[in-house]
Amino acid sequence: MDEPWEAIPTTNESYGYHKYDSSHKPVAHFIQLLASAVAKGGNLLMNIGPKGDGAFDQRDLTILNGIGKWTDKNRESIYGASAGPLPFQNWGVSTMKGNKIYLHVFHWPADGKLYVGGLVSEATKAYLLATPSKSITIQHEPTGDLRLLVPAKAPDPMNTVIVLEYKGKIRVDSVRFIPPAKEVTRLLAFDAAQKGKGFNYGDGKTDRYYVEGWAKKEQSLNWELRIIKQANYKIVLKYLAPAESSGGSYELTIGQKGKPGKALTAQNPVITGPKVTTVVTQEAGVVTLTPGTYTLDITPVIIQGTELMKLLEIQLMPSDNK
């Protein structure tokens, strides 16, 4: 979005004080939410419900103090920073300021190799923001993508910030980068390109981050992906499909850009659930992807209910099978 926007989360599920609401989220949730908001050009407005005497609940104080402790060390990557230039990354999000890109790493690589995809500009230096003396080795892939050699253990498991300094005007490849690592890539329905009108969105909360209103065969969702090393991937769907409103079948195709896609499932049936909240996990097949840019597309074949399904995400899981 180019317009100003902000997220307005609460520490639990209540905007006012609720004595029996103990659903407080961990500090890491809000630290990552703060970084994600800035990374997408927005603002975060924290909400808590003071008690009847105006005092703060101790659980709220713990969360606020935790956020403050983290921002004391990493404020440079948040305050005065703007949306990051990089495409979606499996490890987290990015913000930027001046000639610096701040990598907010939520998911630390187990093998000590952090892949940063899409940065075409020359990176000259990398280090930990909280401890600038800790420099990080930069390696360049033949494709121009970066591989950072990071410590075996995350310095901050909630959100470690790595600073990348670069030369010249920032240039990026905006296509979603799939790293050559043994980790799952989550393609959220929120982030798909839409073909056809009529789609709506869930509110983004747990198991409600879906795209709905899938009522016509002319509607489809697709994602662009860039692969730099050959690998096998098991493709898995997660969706909601209440029996009273959903049903039918779909086709999932994946192919290199500019070429016809290969159908993994010619007519895969939608599995309906007994409740609106029942999450269905369905395997679509295994595909071998060689280096290149791909489009993954999901299209209805038959729609039996008022909509096909409420799609949450598609996962690419590295697989040893072919």
Give the pLDDT of residue 272. 93
Does residue 165 register a pLDDT over 70? Answer: yes
Give the pLDDT of residue 275. 82
pLDDT in tens, 83-108: 999 999 999 999 999 999 999 999 99
Q: Name the CATH superfamily housing domain 185-318.
A: Galactose-binding domain-like (2.60.120.260)
pLDDT in tens, 22-37: 999 999 999 999 999 9
Give the pLDDT of residue 322. 59
Does residue 181 register a pLDDT over 80? Answer: no
CATH 3.90.1150.10 fits 1-172, yes or no: no
Instruction: For the full predicted model, state whether its pTM sits above 0.85.
Output: yes
pLDDT in tens, 192-222: 999 999 999 998 888 999 999 999 999 999 9
Q: What is the mean pLDDT of residues 164-177?
A: 90
Can you tell me the distance from the alpha carbon of 31 to that of 66, in angstroms, rounded to the nearest whole number?
9
Give the pLDDT of residue 321. 65
Give the pLDDT of residue 130. 95
pLDDT in tens, 100-144: 999 999 999 999 999 999 988 889 999 999 999 989 999 988 888
pLDDT in tens, 302-314: 999 899 999 999 9
Start and end residues for every CATH 2.60.40.1180 domain found in the chain: 1-172
Start and end residues for every CATH 2.60.120.260 domain found in the chain: 185-318
Q: What is the mean pLDDT of residues 158-186?
A: 91
